Amino acid sequence: MSYLFTSESVSEGHPDKIADQISDALLDSFLAFDDNSKVACETLVTTGQVVLAGEVRSNTYLDVQQIARDVINDIGYTKGEYQFSGDSCGVISLIHEQSKDIYQGVNRTSKEDQGAGDQGMMFGYATNETENYMPLALDISHKLLIELAKLRREGKDITYLRPDAKAQVTIEYSDDNVPQRIDTIVVSTQHDNFDEDEPMLKQIEKDIHSILIPRVKALFDESIQALFDDDIAYHINPTGKFVIGGPHGDAGLTGRKIIVDTYGGKGAHGGGAFSGKDPSKVDRSAAYAARHVAKNMVAAGIADEVLIQVSYAIGVSEPTSILVDTTNKKIDMSDGDIAKKIRMIFDMRPGMIEERLKLRNPIYRETAAYGHMGKEPRFETKIFKSDYSGEIRREVELFTWEKLDYVDKLKEAFDL
User: Where is the binding site for ATP, in residues?
Assistant: 14, 164-166, 241-242, 250, 256-257, 273, 277
- Which one-letter DSSP state was computed for residue 196? -
Q: Which of 277, 291, 349, 372 is catalytic?
A: 277
Cα–Cα distance for residue pair 320/236, rounded to 1 Å: 46
Q: Which of 256, 266, 356, 360 is catalytic?
A: 256
Q: Which of 5, 33, 220, 242 is catalytic?
A: 242
Q: Which of 42, 147, 278, 304 is catalytic?
A: 42
Whether 8 is a known active-site residue: answer no
Q: Which of 57, 152, 191, 257 is catalytic?
A: 257
CB atoms within 10 A of CB 194: 12
> In this structure, are residues 252 and 17 in contact, taking their beta carbons and an 8 Å threshold?
yes
Whether 150 is a known active-site residue: answer no
Q: Which of 143, 152, 248, 281 is catalytic?
A: 281
- Please give the torsion angle defined by the CA atoms of residues 387, 390, 391 and 394, in that order, rounded to the nearest 10 degrees: -120
Q: Which of 35, 55, 74, 195 is catalytic?
A: 55
Q: Which of 5, 12, 14, 69 is catalytic?
A: 14
Q: Which of 63, 205, 217, 251 is catalytic?
A: 251
- Please give the torsion angle defined by the CA atoms of residues 208, 211, 213 and 219, in that order, rounded to the nearest 10 degrees: -150
> In this structure, are residues 350 and 285 in contact, taking their beta carbons and an 8 Å threshold?
yes
Whether 142 is a known active-site residue: answer no
Instruction: Give the annotated binding-site residues.
Output: 14, 16, 42, 55, 98, 164-166, 241-242, 250, 256-257, 273, 277, 281
Whether 281 is a known active-site residue: answer yes
What DSSP letter does each residue of 369-382 carry, written as one string? SS-SSSPPPEEEEE
Cα–Cα distance for residue pair 309/324, rounded to 1 Å: 7
- Which one-letter DSSP state was computed for residue 389? T
Instruction: Give the annotated binding-site residues for K(+).
Output: 42
> In this structure, are residues 204 and 165 in contact, taking their beta carbons and an 8 Å threshold?
no
Q: Which of 35, 70, 195, 250 is catalytic?
A: 250
Whether 277 is a known active-site residue: answer yes
- In terms of Cα–Cα distance, which of 267, 264, 256, 313 is closest to 290? 267
Cα–Cα distance for residue pair 126/294, rounded to 1 Å: 5
Which residues lie below 8 Å from residue 63, measured CB to CB, with a gap of 6+?
386, 387, 388
- Helix (H), strand (E) at residue 139: helix 136-154
Whether 181 is a known active-site residue: answer no
Instruction: Give the annotated binding-site residues for L-methionine.
Output: 55, 98, 250, 281
Whether 355 is a known active-site residue: answer no
Whether 166 is a known active-site residue: answer yes
Q: Which of 38, 57, 166, 266 is catalytic?
A: 166
Q: Which residues pair with 390 in a beta bridge?
A: 386
- For 106, phi then psi, to 5°, come to -100, -45
Q: Which of 24, 261, 283, 304 is catalytic?
A: 283
Cα–Cα distance for residue pair 283/311, rounded to 1 Å: 10
Catalytic residues: 14, 16-17, 42, 55, 166, 242, 250-251, 256-257, 277, 281, 283
